[in-house]
């Protein structure tokens, strides 16, 4: 299986900050990388697909980049609603895998 490694596991930041989360794949995934936001007690919500495409309805402060095995999710100016847990997901192989998650908390 393709292993997905996210960093950091926890990130403390303030409203208005620019933050970046990194996801590394154990092998090339042909850009088939998604990012999800999950709030407590809720299902994950798709933010980014194909590494850098913004899902409809997602605010433009969210952006994704990367290729090969290294990918990043950037939030340009944190809003109170953004404090949540973020997961990357590769969907290149028959066996889908997620990163372990990054908890974004208020500093």
Partner 1 sequence: EVQLVESGGGLVQPGGSLRLSCGASGFTFSDHYMDWVRQAPGKGLEWVGRIRIKANGYTTEYAASVKGRFTISRDDSKNSLYLQMNSLETEDTAVYYCARTRSYSPNDYWGQGTLVTVSS
CB of residue 19 vs partner 1: minimum separation in angstroms? 19
Residue-wise burial string across 24-47, b where 16 or more C-beta atoms lie within 10 A, e elsewhere: bbeeebebbbbbbbeeeeeebeeb
Position 87 contacts partner 1 (CB under 8 A): yes
C-beta separation of 53 from 8 below 8 A: no
5 binds partner 1 (CB under 8 A): no
The token pair at 76 is 């340009």
Which residue lies nearer to partner 1 by CB, 30 or 76? 30
**In 3-state terms, what secondary structure has residue 77?**
coil
Among 37, 49, 71, 75, binds partner 1 (CB under 8 A): 49
Residues that bind partner 1 (CB under 8 A): 1, 32, 34, 36, 38, 42-46, 49, 55, 87, 89, 91-92, 94-101
């Amino acid at each position: 299986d393709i292993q997905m490694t996210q960093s950091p596991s926890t990130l403390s930041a303030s409203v208005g900050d620019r933050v970046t989360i990194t996801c590394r794949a154990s092998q090339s995934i042909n850009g088939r990388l998604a990012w999800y936001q999950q709030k407590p007690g809720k299902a994950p919500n798709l933010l980014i697909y194909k590494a850098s495409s913004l899902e409809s309805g997602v605010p433009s402060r969210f952006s994704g980049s990367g290729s090969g095995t290294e990918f990043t999710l950037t939030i340009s100016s944190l809003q109170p609603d953004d404090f949540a847990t973020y997961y990357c997901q590769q969907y290149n192989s028959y066996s889908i895998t997620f990163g372990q998650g990054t908890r974004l908390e208020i500093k």
